[in-house]
Structure 1
């Protein structure tokens, strides 16, 4: 038997509890991974609270977690790219908060030796979301990109990737994160009342494109700053996307893209700070931290 984290009713972090599961067996085309680290994301919090009730199928007890890193200990039939003992990072759907899991072999990629376990376990969701968003919004050299929640996980990666593309980046954040954003190559601006005027003062030539990871008032400000709604994208606000015709950013996950991001992170060309690493059994505490909305980088769960 093995342990996973699950919830049997919607509610606060306290509804998360250990769940004993039978050890899965790797089927054809699959690998079994002993998890070392799993990222905690805002979507996990929203699922646990019931924000998506009626939209995302849930079967109680419901597990959580969409990204992980660990060691392969079983290889299914028809898998030749990996072997027992390989260190990998990858992605799944509502299953990564666990000691062990099985996934299709094309959902993992080799973990570079230089990449810490915590970063490897937290890279997939924010890294692939950010990379796909920049691609979908067609961010290019010489353009000015505004990133809402630039100090968060998606924002942190998006700032750095956009700078690599040659874009100028303005990022919204609380003042305590302004030096951090400068270290990533962004020009920080305080969010809240007066944001549009502050951004216009920084970029009198205008903003070309917006990546929003906040929703609500951030989208309202974006609509004032950018006329072309195909260049405004949100990762969180489906209602705003439907109402205003802006882009609802999702993006397909792939092992190839994850491998590229892992290589950048291992080489020091992409920084993903780990705000906190909690034991798997402390998932409730990890959720409380993420739920504040003020995490710099990522929070992860570890299995020791």
Structure 2
């Protein structure tokens, strides 16, 4: 009798284990939709070199259990709202420019410091690797995926070679750090997002814009500016962030797929693919009628760098207020950039 009871107990336990395993497998394979929101046009170079390849790779790695729906061109909200959109569950993943909300994310603003990052691919990998230890503090209400950058310059209606020329100009700045730099130089900032920039320039609301090279063409801004300063003036950093509740509901296998795609490798991959394409826009503009690539001498570059020193000091002070050590953080980022030959 005891033997029969033991056999029954074992059989019941085994059946229960199988049911639990089946339940786990079912949860892992349950089809889910990932709503990916961004504010670029669907034909933009980053959509083709970053968003779409990443989405296809996630879908393939998840064996189709994660289906990605794209919402480009501010369909779900304004460009500056994309961080809050993912936090609040309006979207599941968003592409965010932290500099659109100046002062809210002071640590990652290091990537925006003038003349710090020169190469977008290794620069993206360096910034992402450096920022990961701070992301949990600064972006704690979302799941951080990865960070990357583009590198750009100033495009204007007249030649600009020296920082003294900014005084009295109206500049559409790429982010909060560049805006502080423009103010330091005596210029006035025009706060509009990238999709609104061409209109601001055509209406005379702005005289110049800080922007990457190819996006000048893809946003049609080449119709509003004609001179392009040949220098690596600034970088803008971007983050891909995810709604925590959406991620937490995934099965274990699906979470691994997402984790594998929220990596430093993908940060460098997206940064290089998009950054190299953006840089290629310089040649397009050089060949375009009515456009001039304005040469900037090494001595003039030194003038720009010298003028940026107060912005570095302001950044370190802002980071100190978060409880981190601004000077140490900047040294660590510079070492990371140097190790990857990205400065």
Q: What's the TM-score, normalizing by structure 2?
A: 0.28
Query: Greater Rg, structure 1 or structure 2?
Result: 2
Higher relative contact order (CA 8 A, sep 6+): 2
Name the structure where strand makes up a greater proportion of residues. 1
Q: TM-score, normalised by structure 1?
A: 0.31
